[in-house]
Structure 1
Amino acid sequence: MAEEEGILPAALEAQPDIPEHLSFFWDAFWALNGDRPLGFGLPGPILWASIDRFADRAGVLDGDQFGRLVRFIRVMDGEWRTYMAEQMKQKD
């Protein structure tokens, strides 16, 4: 096994270093990533209601904090969806 040999899988080696002050947003994105509709073979955007529920559970109650969370999730989601669309084109 690669783990036993001290070799990291490529996906772990390529993992970005996330600054501590942004780790909440990174974790939030990955927690919400599976909560999206599918349509025409492509994943849709993470739903606003899902972000709202996540924020409530995480205690993000302040309007400015919630707005920041939504903006971060939307930007990350857009990048992820662009990447996924490119990956699907390469498979065709």
Structure 2
Amino acid sequence: MTDKLEALSQPVGWTTQEELNEANGGVGWMFLSPMKQPDEIALYSQEYVTALLNENAELKASLSEWEDCKHDGATYHDMSGRERCGRCGADL
């Protein structure tokens, strides 16, 4: 996690499920410190949520190179002696 994401990862407020249900698209209460309620819900800034969604998209894109592996790279043998692809780890 980057320093910026770490700084943004702190909740900006808290609410409860009851408040969310009562708000129903309108206005509800938001508390600036934890209420220590069993149904307490942390609220995060839109900037933090957007940053997490962008990071998730980048990670998914980088995964495609592993998912699309055609096993044409280096190989290794695992502890059981099976030959595996050095790129994606699949049995060969």
TM-score range, shorter chain: 0.3 to 0.5
More helix by share: 1
Structure of higher RCO (CA pairs closer than 8 Å, 6+ residues apart): 1
Larger Rg: 2
TM-score (norm 2): 0.34
More strand by share: 2
